[in-house]
Structure 1
Amino acid sequence: MVTSAEFLLSASNAGHFPPEGMPEVAFLGRSNVGKSTLLNRLLGQKLAFTSSTPGRTQSVNFFRVEDRMIFVDLPGYGYAKAPKSVSRAWQEVVDAYLLQREKLALCCVLLDSRRGWMETDLQLKEWLEFHQRPYVVVATKVDKLNQKEKNASQKAIREHYPSGEIIWFSGLSGQGVKEIWQTIWKRTVR
């Protein structure tokens, strides 16, 4: 699907964000939810750093895709082995990104399908809705669920997201990659 993608830069504060130009797609979620794995699957190459340790992405990472859009990997929220002052700094840079970027076309909110909505996820959802930022929910790690668990997960996610689009994603099989790309192209190509 992707013929060219490259890492642009890593920004630890808003002053380091690149100038705006192309539409941007942001990837948000709790620490260790699978943001970097999802990005690597979408891009067809290993550009984003993955780790089993929560909190490895500590800055805002920008990737140019097809010379048509920018993917933005944001630091995870929730549990991370970092001092509270560092976590606060991450939150400030994420807030600055989400509030200031006029070219932000879509936010992909990643939820661990085994856990569903957690309090911090719901706070993010409310924040995005309040600030009228378009988003789609991507349920990750779906390969770890059997059909009964997937049905229960879908019901739990729908409780707080009754009519929005849910895309089921597996980093192992690539399930959901096509659907995520379709959603991204719909929101960014005008």
Structure 2
Amino acid sequence: MSLFSRLQFFTTVNHLRDLPATRAEIAFAGRSNAGKSSAINTLANRTRLAFVSKTPGRTQHINYFSFGDDAYLVDLPGYGYAEVPAAVRAHWEKLLGQYLATREPLRGMVLIMDSRHPLKELDWQMLEWFLPTGKPVHVLLTKADKLNRQEATQALASVRKALAEHPNCTVQLFSSLKKTGTDELELAIADWLK
């Protein structure tokens, strides 16, 4: 039985003081429109567990999804969407930075990037907030179905090379449309939850 098949919505949080008591958390982070909600839905084999919108920046709070056994997938607000008001963006940045740097039950982060546009400035900022914790990062290069085989291989190799000096970082290709890469991601996350 898939780890993600048990995934259920648990709660939404907008302030760190409201974070629930948990045993283990896996954060899902990524730029707005990188395919984060689609990836969560694909992993859970459901269509509307995480809300997918044509409007980037819809996830504005921290959303908790339960694996059961006090373990959670934590869907963080998407970042980098220009039309979000400056005050909202500042709140997100503070919330994300503090959460990633200080959250004790956090076991690792899945950093989601569009495979056609990886490692943008804000992706590096997320890594800068999180890498000092020493916890693992698994980079999920989404929308791989939009690349041909050679382009996908090049994107994967390029990101691996850029992150080579960070031994806690792993990288893979993923496609929600073709449902490829789910087993590899599930293995990484199951290892973190042990």
Q: Same fold (TM over 0.5)?
A: yes
* Contact 2:5–2:43 under 8 Å retained in 1: no
Q: Does 1:166 align with 2:166?
A: no
Q: State the one-letter code of the partner of 2:7.
A: A
SS of residue paired to 1:185: helix
* Contact 1:116–1:156 under 8 Å retained in 2: no
Q: 2 CA distance for matches of 1:141 and 1:165? A: 18
Give the deviation of 1:81 after TM superposition: 2.3
Give the deviation of 1:79 after TM superposition: 1.9
| CA displacement 1:94-116 (0-9 Å, x = unmatched) | 12321332111110011110012
Give the deviation of 1:41 after TM superposition: 1.3
Please give the residue correspondences for 1:35-184 in structure 2 after superposition, counting only pairs within 5 Å. 35-45=36-46, 46-67=48-69, 69-162=71-164, 164-184=169-189
TM-score computed with the length of structure 1 as normaliser: 0.92
Select between 175-184 and 127-136 the one with higher mean Cα deviation.
Answer: 127-136
Match in the other structure for 2:26: 25
Give the deviation of 1:133 after TM superposition: 2.9
Could you list the runs of 4 or more consecutive aligned residues of structure 1 that deviate by over 3 angstroms after TM superposition? none
Match in the other structure for 1:188: 193
SS of residue paired to 2:50: coil
Give the deviation of 1:165 after TM superposition: 2.1
Unaligned runs of 5+ in 2: none
SS of residue paired to 2:129: helix
Q: State the one-letter code of the partner of 1:93.
A: L
* Contact 1:3–1:66 under 8 Å retained in 2: no
Give the deviation of 1:68 after TM superposition: 5.2
Q: 1 CA distance for matches of 2:10 and 2:148? A: 38
Give the deviation of 1:136 after TM superposition: 1.0
Q: Percent identity?
A: 36
* Contact 2:65–2:73 under 8 Å retained in 1: yes
Q: 2 CA distance for matches of 1:5 and 1:158? A: 29
Q: State the one-letter code of the partner of 2:93.
A: Q
SS of residue paired to 1:149: helix
| CA displacement 1:78-133 (0-9 Å, x = unmatched) | 12421010011111111232133211111001111001211111222222222323
| CA displacement 1:4-61 (0-9 Å, x = unmatched) | 22111111111221112x2110001111111111111112222111112110100000
SS of residue paired to 2:69: coil
Give the deviation of 1:73 after TM superposition: 0.2
Q: 2 CA distance for matches of 1:6 and 1:151? A: 34
* Contact 2:115–2:143 under 8 Å retained in 1: yes
Q: State the one-letter code of the partner of 1:176.
A: G
Unaligned runs of 5+ in 1: none
* Contact 2:27–2:76 under 8 Å retained in 1: yes
